[in-house]
Each structure stands twice: as C-alpha cells, then as structure tokens.
Amino acid sequence: MIGKWFIILPLFVLTLAVLTGAASLPVEGVEVDRGDPTGALAWFKQGVEFSRKGEFTAALTRFRKASSLAPNWALPYLEIAVAHMKTDNNREEIGKNLKKVVKLGKSIPRGHYLWGIFLQDGGRRNEAIGAFTRSLQLRPSLVDARFRLATMYVEAGRQTEGIHQYQLVIKQRLNHLGAHRNLAVLYEQSGQLEEAEEHLKAIAKVHPYNAYHLSTLGRFYKRVGWKSKAKAAFRRAERLDPSKDRRRLRPLLKSRDKKLRQYEF
C-alpha cells in the first residue's frame, strides 16, 4: 500500500540498464556441462560481442544458435530473453526462456531476478516474491531485487516484512530515495510520525536544492499538525523556488495500489 509517488517499475526495460545484458555484468556460470560446449560457447561469445555493441537482433540469432547446440546450458536462454526485452519485448518468448533459465541455471541470481520481474509485471505476486527471495539468497547485494521484494510484501499486506526489506535496502544504499519514501508512508500510516519525518528529511538532505522534496516535507508536517515545522519547510522551499506555480516540478509516479492515493506526496 503506497501513495501516488510509490516507485514501482512495471516493465522489464526500465531495469535492463541496471542488471541485464552481457555487457554490464560478467558472464555467470560459463562452464557448460552435459556435452561438448565448444561450438555453443563460440556462438555465445559472438552474441555477447553484438550485445555490447547494441546489435541485439544479431545477438539474438547467435544466442539461439548456442542454445540449439547446448540445450541444457542456461545462459543462452537468459540472453535470448534479454535480447527480446531490448527489441520486441515479446512476453511469450521472454517468459519461455526465463523459465528455462531458472530450471537449468538454479544458481544464477540474475535469472531468478529477471524471472521475478516477469512475474511481477504479470501480476503473479506470490511467485514473484519467491523468485526475488531466491535471487537474494544467491546474491544479497541485488538492491533492486530487494526493493521489489519489499514492494511485493507491502502490496500483499505484509507490511512488517516489507518494512524490514526496505530498511535493508537503505543499509545497502543509504540514499535510496524509493525506500525512504515508501518507509515514510508506511510509518505515517502506522502513526510512527517521528520515523516518517526522518525518512522525508533524509530525502531532502540528499537533494538539498530541490524545492519539491522540501514541499513534500512541509505537506507532511501540515497533515500531522506540526504547523511551525510546516511553515519552516515551506519557507525553505519558497527560497529555492520562488515561482508561484510549483506544479511544474515533476511528481513521482502513481502507485498501482489505489488504497493509499490519499497520501498526496
């Protein structure tokens, strides 16, 4: 349950720049068992090179060839899914190949992570929770997987678990704005106003010259009846942005969870 600003990234493509693509991460599990990998590996390496150049259609052809030569090797299926995400976003192909990845490459964290995104985007919340949990068991440093897991918990009504995961996100990345914002909402909902205030202040500290975040803090103070603090926050925001129409500042995206739209951050 998150307000209109709650950050949820609904599509694969928004995350690909962070954790997908052979160019951005070292190749995991390159060793190929169950058969001679020589031909498949050569095709796979060519696919990697084309991916690094942004030529995903050419890369897709080579990853498919690698998968045909080594059908029990998980990595070509992973890169086939990524290539589809980068090109036609064919959900049928993406899902089919990611399903093979998590079956054949049970120890590949990126496979479980992307499978979790696929499930999340398809509204399969409980399965997504399982996939993100598995990815974090294999690689606890996957901050976005942890953030998404927290999101899934909150949307499922499991606020305590969601709050815990958001807190871990902040431990891993101190200035993670999404985690701070969502914790502020959750704490305000539960009446823990001092905790909510601390997270909103943390956001304003990260962006001290952004009037929008100070105005957000001011609106929080106004909602909870802390009038003197509200006036001070609005004065600071006004000094940073004296224009009358502060609506030009870009708000955060709406949440898919409609229950908290009342929190107009």
- Parse the chain into domains and list their residue ranges: 29-105
Tell me the average pLDDT across 167-188.
Answer: 97
What is each CA distance from 157 to 136, 153, 218, 260, in whole angstroms? 21, 6, 28, 12
Tell me the average pLDDT across 49-73.
Answer: 96
- The pLDDT of residue 241 is 83
The answer to whether the beta carbons of residues 257 and 155 sit under 8 Å apart is yes
Q: Is the pLDDT score of 9 beyond 70?
A: no
Q: pLDDT tens, 198-229?
A: 999 999 999 999 999 999 999 999 999 999 99
Quick one: pLDDT band at residue 242, thresholds 50, 70, 90? confident
Whether this prediction's pTM lies above 0.75 is answered by yes
Spell out the long-range contacts of 27-32 with Cβ–Cβ below 8 A and sequence spacing 24 or more. 27/75, 28/75, 28/105, 28/108, 28/109, 28/110, 29/74, 29/75, 29/105, 29/107, 29/108, 30/75, 32/70, 32/73
Is 29-105 a domain of CATH 2.30.110.10? no
Mean of per-residue pLDDT scores for the chain: 84
- 10 Å Cβ neighbour count for 246? 14
Q: Is the pLDDT score of 254 beyond 90?
A: no
Q: Is the pLDDT score of 262 beyond 80?
A: no
Quick one: pLDDT band at residue 249, thresholds 50, 70, 90? very low
- The pLDDT of residue 256 is 55
- The pLDDT of residue 216 is 96
Quick one: pLDDT band at residue 20, thresholds 50, 70, 90? very low
What burial class does residue 171 get, using C-beta atoms within 10 Å of its C-beta: 0-12 exposed, 13-18 middle, 19+ buried? exposed
Q: Is the pLDDT score of 264 beyond 60?
A: no
Q: pLDDT tens, 86-131?
A: 999 999 999 999 999 999 999 999 999 999 999 999 999 999 999 9
